[in-house]
Amino acid sequence: MIPRLLPLLALLPGAAWGTDEFLGLLRKAEGRGEAEERIEYYTRAIRAWQSSHGAALLANCHFRRGEARSRLGGLSEALPDLAKAMDLDPRNAGAHFLRGRILLRLGRPQEAARDLAEHSALRPEEPEGFLELGKASLRADRPQAALRAFERARELAPSDFRAALGEARVWVARRRWERALRSLEMAQELARGGSPEVYGERALCELARGQNQKALAAFSQALALGEERLQDLRRSNAHPLEVGQAQEDLARDYFGRGRLHEFLLRLPEAANDYQQACRLGRLAACARAEGLSSQQPQKEETRREKPAPERRKPKRHLPRPRSEPGERIYAP
């Protein structure tokens, strides 16, 4: 039984437990491990609900059914249930939190920020809400609101590296590279070097500073850790929101390293990175991988026909950034 249901169910007469159809179905739904079965029993419970059971229990059924649907990967399919849960019970913090995360994943950060702000108002002691609120605020182009949310998350959970990482992302978005690196140092110390996101953001900062080799090293660290994390999430049957974000981050870093390899004229390495990003769903990488692969044989044939003397190429540096580095490296 979900603990948060206990205060609601305690208000019902004890005799109702054995005879009430709605309560029996609700108990079965809560006891099922498979998402498909939970959806089935919550649906039946919703049909059996009567006004005497109270709106809060019906709201919880819609919330739990939406949660189960999101577990199956149907993020958009979960939204109607979550909206219904909030209509019936505006204080259902779990529904606000889950819908905010889903909306952020679906590319609707302003709507996500509203839901996550409501969750944080209802549950001001939970750092997860402020961490997600910070992400949504940053993507909605509200950097000051994002910094406030990350600062509150750090106060609630001072040993969690994600607050410092979030602050670093704000400074990256504002092109404050040195400030971002200081936040990343803090995040890396708290994460004990085990966060692919920290290395991915460090790669952007080094890139903007013209430190190509440091950027390549950071990308490589991010990719090694990111592959390991994605495998762990898949093996543990983690929520699709977690798996999807990890896969997107990994594809982004492969694509970023591929662009840097291409800039440095390391075309085989660039093609391989683009292929990996394509495998992970980065569609822009597929065309780049195909284009570079088609060029390889022609260049090899040219070398055989007209061998050129080996020359030591001068070290190339990226020019001083005039735009956010993610726009140059991660853009299609």
- Segment 219-229 mean pLDDT: 97
Angle at 117 between CA 114 and CA 121, to 5 degrees: 140
| Distant-in-sequence, close-in-space partners of 203: CB < 8 Å, separation ≥ 6 | 215, 216, 218, 219, 222, 253, 256, 257
pLDDT, residue 304, reads 47
pLDDT, residue 6, reads 45
Cα 328 from Cα 62, distance rounded (Å): 43
pLDDT, residue 316, reads 53
**All domains in the chain, ordered by first residue:** 1-90 (1.25.40), 91-189 (1.25.40.10), 194-299+328-332 (1.25.40.10)
- Segment 239-244 mean pLDDT: 95
pLDDT, residue 14, reads 46
pLDDT, residue 315, reads 53
Q: Kindly report the number of other CB atoms within 10 A of residue 30's CB atom.
A: 16
Share of the chain above pLDDT 70, in %: 83
Cα 174 from Cα 261, distance rounded (Å): 25
pLDDT, tens digit (0-9, with 9 covering 90-100), for 72-126: 989 999 999 999 999 999 999 999 999 999 999 999 999 999 999 999 999 999 9
Cα 219 from Cα 212, distance rounded (Å): 10
At 8, is the pLDDT very low, low, confident or very high (cuts 50, 70, 90)?
low
What predicted TM-score, i.e. pTM, was given to this entire model? Answer: 0.83
Average pLDDT across the chain, whole number: 88
Residue with the larger pLDDT of the pair 4 and 46? 46
Tokens 């061998």, located at residue: 307
Chain-centroid distance of CA 330 in Å reads 16
Share of the chain above pLDDT 90, in %: 80
pLDDT, residue 300, reads 45
pLDDT, residue 294, reads 74
Q: Is residue 73 left, alpha or beta, with left meaning phi > 0 and alpha meaning psi from -120 to 50? A: left
pLDDT, tens digit (0-9, with 9 covering 90-100), for 266-314: 999 999 999 999 999 999 999 999 989 877 555 444 444 455 555 555 5
- Nearest in space to 66 (alpha carbons), one of 104, 92, 28: 92
Q: Which range (127-136, 266-275, 310-319) has the least confidence?
A: 310-319
- Segment 306-331 mean pLDDT: 54
